[in-house]
Amino acid sequence: MELPFRLYRNDPHWVPPLRRDVLELIDPSKHPFHRHATVELFLARQGKRVVGRIAAVQNDLHIETHGDRTGFFGLFESERDRRVSAALFDAARTWLVARGLETMRGPASFSLNEECGLLVSGFDGPPVVMMTYNPPWYEELVEGYGFTKTKDLLAYYLPGAAPTERLLRVADKLRERYRISVRALDTRRFWDEVALVRQVYNEAWEDNWGHVPMTEAELTYMAKQLKPVVDPSLVVFAEVNGELAGFGLALPDLNVPLKRMNGRLLPFGWAKALWYSRKISTARVLTLGVRKKFRRNGVAELMQLELMKNGNARGIVNAEFSWILEDNTMMRAPLEKMGARVYRTYRMYDLPTAMGSHA
């Protein structure tokens, strides 16, 4: 857990995670991911010095969903030494081979429902909340071992995210034509609302590359983490003729206060969080899902509009939409029409586990 704090100590863009969150992620008794997966953690040492880390992951729910023999690697950190990274990848690959897995995919910590992808472009600033970050030369370590790209995940940026008059006029027509209504999260019915989120999430994403359904326990865990920091006006539900059609979630960029906390809430981290949270001007649109039968009728666009309006009301003037699959034209086209542009790319890699050692 401490290794990244040393590796990134001079990097102005790195955002220290909360130590307690990392400890919970790797603890099988606390994080529900481990109920359908097995994780092995490795450290690389030179003498007594820790120089790298990696996790090897067998996600049984992924195997069940996709019918393949794919394992994963995650939590990858390494000094700039090909011998270190190769030793880490060898260890993870050997563990996956022993479990009959034929492909090693990553990085994912620990699945596509959490942080995933190697940052390969857009190193000019800190990541937004719940997005990954790494030095540019990690790409050399990963590709030098033999990994090849399997899919790019894109982050779009929209500065001055405010609805235009034209967008408002189009929205009125869509509402009237398709009888669409959009509302914000009702905090009095928080757990009922979470159940609606799961209903949409697992249907809206089931055909997406690499998607694994989120279990009830995982969604409950995530909801408990987000409940203290979520802004109810930035969680929206869409209905068509009174039937649930989709939901959207945007988070204020909590990395702004996190960057100042050095991974700890105590003794003064909480005070810094309160102070710097007032300076947040960007939100990440984390999730925007529409059930299949309600697609192509403006539901997604109306939810985006509502998130923009509500964000503007609380001082949010910029938006990141992430992540979006590179071949998801249905999501990319409307964003580009709004003026958003791709400003960061995160890459998922594959490697046949039968490949020989590169150490």
Q: Give the Cα separation of 134 and 274 in Å (integer).
A: 27
DSSP-assigned letter for residue 8: T
Residue-wise DSSP of 11-57: -TT--PPPHHHHHHHT-TTT-GGGGGEEEEEEEEEETTEEEEEEEEE
Q: What is the pLDDT of residue 5?
A: 95
149 vs 219: CA distance, rounded Å: 29
pLDDT score, position 171: 78
**Residue 125 carries which side chain, given as an amino acid letter?**
G
Measure the CA–CA gap between 9 and 77, rounded to whole angstroms: 13
pLDDT tens-digit map of 64-93: 999 999 999 999 999 999 999 999 999 999
Residue 211: count of CB within 10 angstroms of its CB: 19
Q: Write out residues in the chain with pLDDT < 50, as ranges.
A: 275, 359
- What pLDDT is stored for residue 27 in this prediction? 97
CB–CB of 112/210 below 8 Å?
yes
Give the angle subtended at the CA of 352 by the CAs of 66 and 152, to the nearest 5°.
65
pTM (two decimals):
0.92
CA–CA distance, 231 with 21 (Å, rounded to integer): 20
In angstroms, the CA 61 to CA 73 distance is 16
Report the distance separating Cα 138 and Cα 119, nearest Å.
Answer: 9
Q: Where are the alpha helices (DSSP H) in the chain?
A: 3-7, 19-25, 60-66, 82-98, 138-145, 165-178, 190-204, 216-226, 255-258, 269-277, 299-313, 329-338
What pLDDT score was predicted for residue 269?
A: 52
